[in-house]
Structure 1
Amino acid sequence: MAHFKFLANWMFIFLCIAVTSGASTAPYLPPQKEDVAHWNNLGQDELKATLEYTPNTNVARNVILFVGDGMGVTTLTGSRILKGQLKQRSGEEEQLSFEKFPYSAMIKVYNTDAQVPDSAGTATAFLSGVKTRRGRIGVGPGVPDNNCTAAQREQLSTILDWSRAEGKSVGIVTTTRLTHATPAAAYAHVPNRYWEGDASIGPAGVGCRDIALQLVEDNPDIQVLLGGGRRYFIPNDEPDPVTGVVDKNNGRRDSRNLIEEWKADKAKRKKARRVVFNQRDLNLVDTRHKDYLLGLFNPSYMNYASQRPTTGPTAEPSIAKMTQKAIEVLQKNPKGYFLLVEGGRIDHGHHAGRARRAFSETLAFDEAVEKAVEMTNQNETLIVVTADHSHTLAMGGFPGRGNPIFGLDFFKASDGKPMTTLLYGFGPGHKSPREDLTNVDTASDMYRQQSAVPLGSGTHGMEDVTAHAIGPMSHLFRGVKEQNYLAHAMAYASCVGQNKAHCKPTD
C-alpha cells in the first residue's frame, strides 16, 4: 500500500509538470504535431540513415581534431538546448553540428595517477597515444615533479610530429594561450604544465626550457599558430605591442623577443610569414600568399565569446574565423595536414561556476566545427570532436519541456526556495544558507550556479566524455575507449606514425 502511494505521488508530480509547468513557466514551445506518427517517422528516418551509412575506408589526407576543454555530456546537453532556445524553440530536439556525425564513442579520461584528470595529462594522451600523470606535458608517466632530466629521457612524440614527418602541414588554434596545456601537449615536453614562460620556472626547474621557448626553438615547421598568450613571448621590460602594458611578472626574463625570432625565420627558410595581433589584421591576411601565420590576440587567454571585443586594435577573431584561416593556409599542401583546434574557455566558464559562459563557448566551438565541415571534403578529411574531461555540472529537478535552460524549476526545494535545473557539485556558487533565487537573474552571463561544496574554483569531472567522428576511417571511433586510443586511431586513419603497414605507397 505504501509503495502504491509513493508511485501515485510521483505520478501526480509529473502530471503537474506536464500540465502546468509547460503552460505557465516555459516560453519555448516544442514543435507542433509531436504525435504518434511523428515519433514513428522520426525513428524510421534515423534507422534508415544509419542502415545506409557505409564506412569510409579511404586514407585521411587531412585530420582535424577539435577539443572542447571541459565539454562533458551535461555541457553538450545544456548547450544543445540553449542552441534551440536561441531559435525560440523548446531546445531538447536540437542538435549540435557534430552530434550529427555518423560515429561516436565514450572516452575514459583518467590520468595514470588520478581519477579526476587535468588537461595536461589528457591532452598528452590523445595527442601522443600514451597516458601520463596529471600536470605533465609531452612526457611519460615515469617523470617526477619538476624533473627536467627525467623529462628529457621520456619525451613523447605526437601526431603533430608524425604528420610533419610525412611531409604534411600542421597547425594549432586555441582560445586559451598557445602555451596552455592542450596546445602545448602537441609540441612541448615539460614536467610541469605551468612553465609556460621562463618567469614561471622556479628554482626546482633551473636548466629547463619553458614552453614558449620550445615552441619557437624546436617547432619552426608549425605553419599556423593562432590563440592568446603574447606575454610569454615578450621581454618583461618591453611594452605589449597592442596594449602598451609592460608585464614585469609574466614577461620574459631572458630578454628574448620570441615573436621577432619567429618572424626572423622567414629569411632563413624563404617562406612567407605573417604575425597578427587582432581581428582586422587576421581578416586582411591573404592566405594564398602566406605559408606561415602566427596570431597572438591577447596577452593571456582570449576573451569569452560573449565578451569578445569586435572593434579596434584589441578586437579578437572568433574560433570559427581562426579555424577558417588555418584551413586556408594548411590546405595548400598536396600531402595534407593535421590541425588541432581547442575551444579552451568552456573549461574556464565551468571553473568559475558560470554555466552560461561555458554553454556560449560551446556554441562558438560548434560554429567552428560547422565551418570545418563546410570547407573540407568528407572523402579525404577526418574530423574528430572530443573533450579532454568534463566538469561537475549536474542537470535535474522537474523542469517541463521547453523550460529555459538557465531558468527556475517549476517546483521549489524542501527549504521552500526556488531551484535551478543546473547545479555544480563543487565550486564558488556555494552559500549557506542557500540563496533565495526568487528575484535573481539566473540567466545572466555573470550568474554562478549554486554548488554543493564550497571551492574557489570548480573541479573537473571524472566520468567519460564523448568523441564524434566523420570522414575516412571514422568508424574506428565507436565503443568505449581509453583516451590514448584517439591518437592511434587518427594516426592509422592518416597513415602516419607507427600505423602505416596498411598504407599503399604514394608518389
Structure 2
Amino acid sequence: MKNLLLQFVVLLCTTALCVANYEHEHTATYWNDQAQARLQKQLLRRTNTGVAKNVILFLGDGMSIPTLTAARTHLGQRNGNAGEETELSFEKFPYVGLSKTYCVDKQVADSACSATAYLGGVKANKDTVGVTAAVKRGDCDAMNDVSNHVQSVAHYSQLKNKRTGIVTTTRVTHASPAGVYAHTAERDWESDTDVTLAGKNPKTCLDSTVQLVHGETGKKLNVIFGGGRRKFLPMFETDEDGKMGNRLDNRNLINEWKQLKANTTHAYVSDRNSLLNIADGTEYSLGLFDNGHMSYNLERDSNKQPSLEEMTIKAIELLSNGKEGFFLFVEGGLIDKAHHDNKARLALDETIEFHKAIEAAVKMTNETDTLILVTADHAHTMTLNGNENRGHDVLGLGGLAVDLLQYTTLSYGTGPGYKPNKDGRRHDVSKDDLTSNDYGYPTIAPLLSATHGGDDVGIFASGPWSHLITSVVEQNLIAHVINFASCTGERTTACEN
C-alpha cells in the first residue's frame, strides 16, 4: 500500500498538477532573490578552526553524482513536488569537494582499495584492505608484514581514548567497514572458509571476522552494527533466523566476542527491538541483524531489522558517553548492491535512507565540535537521460528515440539489465513494469553484475576544519583531514598547528 501511494504521488507530478508548484519560478525576481539569500548566507560563513571532538564519516557505497541528482528528485516527487529543487540533508553542508577514487593499480576503484584511502590515508591495490600497494591481491606473506599495514582513523582515535564504532547495511566484514579494522590481501577473506577455498592457510592468513573480534583495532570497537552473522558462526550451526553459519574452524566468534567483553558492560543483539533497548551505559555493543547483507529498506521486515537511521541514532547515543569524544563510520552499503543489479528504484530509496541517517546525526550533534563528512567510495554507471519536462517521474520513461521506441530516464552502462531482442531491434521498455522494485534498468553491455564508474564523487563537510574539503582532491586526503581536525594520527594536527 505504501509503494502504491508513492507511485500515485509521482504520477500526479507527471501531470499539470505539479506545474503549479513552480509557477513562481517564472519571474526573474524569484531567482534573483533566491541567489541573493544564498549569497548573504555565504558571506556570513566563518571558518571553524576548533578541535573536532567527534567525527562521523558517512559513506554512500557507489553513490555517484547522478545517484544524488536522481535520489533528490525522487524524494521531492514522493512529497508531491516537481522534485528537481529538492535538497538532500548533506547537500546543505557548507563545504564540498570532489574525490578522485582510482586505485594504485586500477583506473576504476572497488570498495576495498578506496576504504584504505579514505580511512587510512594511503592508496592501495584493488581488492586489498588496510595495506599498502606493496601488497598484491592474495599475497598472504606481504599482508602479514606489519610494515605494509595501513592504520585507520579509528585506530588513531582509539589511541586518544575516543570511542569508536561502525554501522553498515552490508555485512560488518564487507570491504568498506573492514577498512576500519582489517589488514588483508583479499577483501573476500571474510571467514576461514573463504581463505581455505582460496588455497591459503587460515591460521596464518587471518580472515576479517577474526580480525574484527581479536584484532588490535577491531576488538576495541565500542559499536558494531550491521549484517553478516554467517561469517561469525560454524558451518552447520544456525543463527537466530535458522540460517547456517559459514565457518570451517568450528569457532563461534559471537561467543568469543562476548567472552572478551565479559568484564565490561556489553550487549549482543540480533533484532530491531533489542537494538532500541540497549542500555545507555553499555560500553560495547555488537548487533548482527542478518545472516548476510541486511535487507533493502523497501523489503525490510521492520519488526526484525532496524533502519540505517535507527542504527545510527543508537550508535551516536552509545558513543557519546565517552569523555574524549568518538569516531563513527556509517555506510549506506546497499546503494551499491542495487546499482550492481541495475535496480535503480532500490538504489534511490537506499540513498534516501542514507540521507535520513545523516539528517538524524546532524540533529544529535553540534557542528562546533563535531566534524561530519559525507562521501562515496566510487561511482556507478547509472546516468540521467533527457528530454522530459520538469517534474517527470525520474524512474519512468524518458522519451522516444529515432528507432521509434521509448527509452528510460535512467539507464546504465553495464549490468544484468541488458535485454536483447530476437529481431535485432532495441528492447521496447514501454512494455516493462517500471514500478517494480526489482526492475533492472536498461544497459549498453550485458554483465552479470554492473561495473563501478570511474568518475569523481562528492565530499560534503560540516564542522571543525570542514573548510579543508574543497576543490578536486585525491581520496586519501579525507583520512588526513579527519586526523588533523581531531588531533589524532602521526602527522601534523590542529592541536600542533
For the criterion TM > 0.5, the same-fold answer is yes
Alignment of 1:122 with 2:122, yes or no, is no
Who is 1:334 aligned against? 323
Mapping 1:110-259, distance limit 5 Å: 110-153=102-145, 154-201=148-195, 202-206=197-201, 207-218=204-215, 219-240=218-239, 242-247=240-245, 251-259=246-254
Contact 1:27/1:404 (8 A) holds in 2: no
Alignment of 1:282 with 2:270, yes or no, is no
Superposed displacement of residue 36, structure 1 = 1.1
Instruction: Supply the distance in 2 between the matched residues of 1:373 and 1:354 (Cα, whole angstroms).
Output: 29
Q: Deviations over 1:175-194 (max 9, x none)?
A: 00000000001100110000
Instruction: Supply the distance in 2 between the matched residues of 1:443 and 1:50 (Cα, whole angstroms).
Output: 40
Amino acid at match of 1:234: L
Q: Deviations over 1:442-465 (max 9, x none)?
A: 132111111011111111000100
Instruction: Supply the distance in 2 between the matched residues of 1:279 and 1:237 (Cα, whole angstroms).
Output: 25
Contact 1:418/1:438 (8 A) holds in 2: yes
Contact 2:416/2:448 (8 A) holds in 1: yes
From 287, 292, 297, the equivalent of 1:295 is: 287
Mapping 1:265-280, distance limit 5 Å: 265-267=260-262, 270-280=263-273
Amino acid at match of 2:158: R
Amino acid at match of 2:228: G
From 441, 450, 453, the equivalent of 2:445 is: 453
Contact 2:371/2:461 (8 A) holds in 1: yes
Instruction: Supply the distance in 1 between the matched residues of 2:13 and 2:236 (Cα, whole angstroms).
Output: 62
Instruction: Supply the distance in 2 between the matched residues of 1:436 and 1:334 (Cα, whole angstroms).
Output: 60
Any unmatched runs of 5+ in structure 1? 1-21
Amino acid at match of 1:469: A
Instruction: Supply the distance in 1 between the matched residues of 2:355 and 2:175 (Cα, whole angstroms).
Output: 21
Counting aligned pairs with the same residue, the percent is 43
Instruction: Supply the distance in 2 between the matched residues of 1:372 and 1:339 (Cα, whole angstroms).
Output: 11
Amino acid at match of 1:340: F
Q: What's the TM-score once normalised by structure 2's chain length? A: 0.93
Classify the secondary structure of the residue corresponding to 1:33.
Answer: helix
Superposed displacement of residue 501, structure 1 = 4.8
Identify if the C-alpha distance between structure 1 residues 27 and 306 changes in structure 2 by more than 3 Å, giving closer, same or farther: farther
Contact 2:72/2:86 (8 A) holds in 1: yes
Q: Deviations over 1:320-354 (max 9, x none)?
A: 00000101111111110000000000001100001
Superposed displacement of residue 420, structure 1 = 1.1
Who is 1:499 aligned against? 491
Instruction: Supply the distance in 2 between the matched residues of 1:158 and 1:65 (Cα, whole angstroms).
Output: 12
From 306, 322, 325, the equivalent of 1:317 is: 306
Q: What's the TM-score once normalised by structure 1's chain length? A: 0.91
Contact 2:228/2:292 (8 A) holds in 1: yes
Amino acid at match of 2:260: D
Contact 2:49/2:464 (8 A) holds in 1: yes
Identify if the C-alpha distance between structure 1 residues 385 and 43 changes in structure 2 by more than 3 Å, giving closer, same or farther: same
Identify if the C-alpha distance between structure 1 residues 24 and 74 changes in structure 2 by more than 3 Å, giving closer, same or farther: closer
Superposed displacement of residue 98, structure 1 = 0.2
From 70, 76, 80, the equivalent of 1:88 is: 80
Identify if the C-alpha distance between structure 1 residues 501 and 108 changes in structure 2 by more than 3 Å, giving closer, same or farther: closer
Superposed displacement of residue 104, structure 1 = 0.5
Instruction: Supply the distance in 1 between the matched residues of 2:491 and 2:463 (Cα, whole angstroms).
Output: 18
Who is 2:414 aligned against? 426
Any unmatched runs of 5+ in structure 2? 1-11
Contact 2:61/2:332 (8 A) holds in 1: yes
Classify the secondary structure of the residue corresponding to 1:104.
Answer: strand
Who is 1:36 aligned against? 28
Instruction: Supply the distance in 1 between the matched residues of 2:366 and 2:440 (Cα, whole angstroms).
Output: 41
Contact 2:230/2:244 (8 A) holds in 1: no
Over aligned residues, Cα RMSD in angstroms? 1.6
Who is 2:332 aligned against? 343
Contact 2:485/2:494 (8 A) holds in 1: no
Instruction: Supply the distance in 1 between the matched residues of 2:220 and 2:443 (Cα, whole angstroms).
Output: 45
Moved more, 361-370 or 205-214: 205-214
Superposed displacement of residue 204, structure 1 = 3.4
Superposed displacement of residue 414, structure 1 = 1.3
Superposed displacement of residue 498, structure 1 = 1.9
From 405, 426, 432, the equivalent of 1:417 is: 405
Instruction: Supply the distance in 1 between the matched residues of 2:446 and 2:17 (Cα, whole angstroms).
Output: 33
Instruction: Supply the distance in 2 between the matched residues of 1:130 and 1:489 (Cα, whole angstroms).
Output: 13
| Equivalent residue pairs, number | 474
